[in-house]
Structure 1
Amino acid sequence: MDGRQVAAYLDRIGLPRPGQPDAAALRALQLAHLSAVPFETLSVARGEPIVLTEQALWEKLVERRRGGFCYELNGAFAALLGALGYRVELLAARVFGKDGRVGPPFDHMALRVELDGPWLVDVGFGRFSHHPLRLDERGPQADPAGRFTLAEHGPGLDVLMDGDPQYRLDLRPYALADFGPTCWWQATSPDSHFTRSTTCSRLTAEGRITLAGTRLIRTGADGSRSERELTAEQALAAYREHFGIELDELPVSAPLRPARH
């Protein structure tokens, strides 16, 4: 990522270039990214190809001002952090389902950033920590989103939010291309929850705003929740107003239930 691309990416998330790659700047970058770039599965619903290269991700998130799911969001953010001088590794994770079982390898992508110690950074899991988490801390870590705990499980770590397991981290570093096969499966298989639901969601100052199909959901930081069913015209306007996404029409396959992430 060259200087022009870095500047455009920082403009996309509304931040000036940080003076140095430290923990405070990393915290600000993660929060700004979560607030500006939505987690969204429109490419899956519209049959758009998802290309896991640094250039393709930059073009989608920055030039086209879109969002994406975990491989895209964390893949692009890793490239930005690397260009800003951070030491970043891509980590694979297996997401816990509601039945308590974990999904397949490479089910999710997260980031390890090395500073004074190792940090877990994740801008691609939807409702998750607002700030980076210490990878070497085993006690509870307070965050605006809740209390997070990282528990050892074999050679990896289980990440828990308010006591509920979220995903199981593999601590080995991987290349972006390693996530390609599972990304393709998630985007195309009828067994993937991403092909059965369409969602667009981002962090707000009040909590979170989500468009699930044609349902507009507002979640407060205090746990309050309101829902409103929209017409197709209202949903298109909501994409523009709340997420900066211009669509000519809604995805025809968009059901009315939210995705897991």
Structure 2
Amino acid sequence: MDVARYLDRINFRGEIKPDIATLTKLHQHHVFHIPFEALDVYYGIPVILNEQHLFCKIVEHRRGGYCYEVNELFARLLQKLGFAVHRISGRLASGNKFGREFEHMALLVEIDRQQWLVDVGYGDFALQPLLITHGHIQNDGHNEYRIQHGVVADGATYWQTGKWNSIKLCFVTDYIFTTTPRSITHFEEMNRWKQTSGESKFRRTAICSIPTQSGRVSLVGNRLIITNNKEKEVQLLHSEISKRVALQRYFNIHFPVDEMTHPGGLANVRQAV
């Protein structure tokens, strides 16, 4: 891995130490420069989880990715920089129900005997690491988060991430997770499922999202959603060309127009993954 090029991709400057101050700065630069997106899944382009492929896509071609891609590449960067990092499994929340094991991948970083949840691949989530400690409310400058322990699902006990919802006036769960170290191979099956199953939302809907200093910009299907100081504007995109223009303007993604032919390529995905 070319560490210097990766740091340039996220516009990171300054001294690097394996401490929480550096980790926080790296995390913030990462989420503000590399979008959460699953465009390859939508357009039938295989998602391959090896370092060379991910580096080429995210750093050289200046794309983003979904959890397995951006968190995996970020984990490898952090390891190169001297951090103690583990991949961990998450299960997404839907009301009081939880999804499958390994459907989300996040990172756990250990610093001075403290464990930090690091997740640059979820989308609208914390803009900095969260200390894994029960009940402590943490603020990333935009939202408040709380991590709690003791959620039981299918006989196992999990940690729970919650983000403050100002409408519901409560913390709403994003996902549950354990701190058990995993390898990237544990997530391969779910990576294949997300690319090939008709139940996968990423196959049905083009998704791309990135935070801004005053809010967030998201492309969801044929809608471009711009949130600025909690005010939301929605623009309808009526063609693949208009999507390409929005991707270039708001996300700096130059997606080849000849690849924007959903749902073509599914056979290639199945063969590749």
The TM-score, its normalising length taken from structure 2, stands at 0.86
User: CA separation in 2, counterparts of 1:215 and 1:251?
Assistant: 18
Query: Is the CA contact (8 Å cut-off) linking 1:40 and 1:199 kept in structure 2?
Result: yes
Question: Which residue does the alignment assign to 1:257?
Answer: none
Question: Which residue does the alignment assign to 1:252?
Answer: 262
Q: Any stretches of 5+ residues in structure 1 without a counterpart? A: 255-261
- 1:137 Cα shift? 4.5
Question: Which residue does the alignment assign to 1:158?
Answer: 160
Query: Is the CA contact (8 Å cut-off) linking 1:70 and 1:125 kept in structure 2?
Result: yes
Question: Which residue does the alignment assign to 2:60?
Answer: 63
Residues 177-192 of structure 1 aligned to structure 2 (within 5 Å): 177-192=185-200
Aligned partner letter, 1:157: W
SS of 1:18 mapped into structure 2? coil
The C-alpha deviation readout for 1:6-47, integer Å capped at 9, x for no partner, is 111111100125331211111111111111111111110111
Question: Which residue does the alignment assign to 2:90?
Answer: 93
Query: Is the CA contact (8 Å cut-off) linking 1:139 and 1:149 kept in structure 2?
Result: yes
The TM-score, its normalising length taken from structure 1, stands at 0.90
- 1:100 Cα shift? 2.3
Aligned partner letter, 1:217: I
Question: Which residue does the alignment assign to 2:235?
Answer: 228
Query: Is the CA contact (8 Å cut-off) linking 2:133 and 2:148 kept in structure 1?
Result: no
SS of 2:180 mapped into structure 1? strand
Question: Which residue does the alignment assign to 1:111?
Answer: 107
1:47 aligned to which of 40, 44, 47: 44
Query: Is the CA contact (8 Å cut-off) linking 1:236 and 1:246 kept in structure 2?
Result: yes
User: CA separation in 1, counterparts of 2:107 and 2:5?
Assistant: 22
SS of 1:31 mapped into structure 2? helix
Change (3 A) 1:94 1:147: same
| Greater shift in the superposed pair: 191-200 or 241-250 | 241-250
Question: Which residue does the alignment assign to 1:258?
Answer: none
Question: Which residue does the alignment assign to 1:219?
Answer: 227
Change (3 A) 1:167 1:208: same
**Matched residues, percent identical?**
36
Query: Is the CA contact (8 Å cut-off) linking 2:16 and 2:81 kept in structure 1?
Result: no
Aligned partner letter, 1:45: Y
Change (3 A) 1:17 1:189: farther
Query: Is the CA contact (8 Å cut-off) linking 2:44 and 2:263 kept in structure 1?
Result: no
Aligned partner letter, 1:190: G
User: CA separation in 2, counterparts of 1:138 and 1:223?
Assistant: 26
Q: Any stretches of 5+ residues in structure 2 without a counterpart? A: 165-170, 265-273
Query: Is the CA contact (8 Å cut-off) linking 2:110 and 2:116 kept in structure 1?
Result: yes
Question: Which residue does the alignment assign to 1:7?
Answer: 4
- 1:145 Cα shift? 3.3
SS of 2:98 mapped into structure 1? coil
Change (3 A) 1:156 1:14: same
User: CA separation in 2, counterparts of 1:248 and 1:143?
Assistant: 35
Residues 6-25 of structure 1 aligned to structure 2 (within 5 Å): 6-16=3-13, 18-25=15-22
User: CA separation in 2, counterparts of 1:17 and 1:10?
Assistant: 10
Q: Between Structure 1 and Structure 2, how many residues are aligned? A: 249
Aligned partner letter, 2:98: V
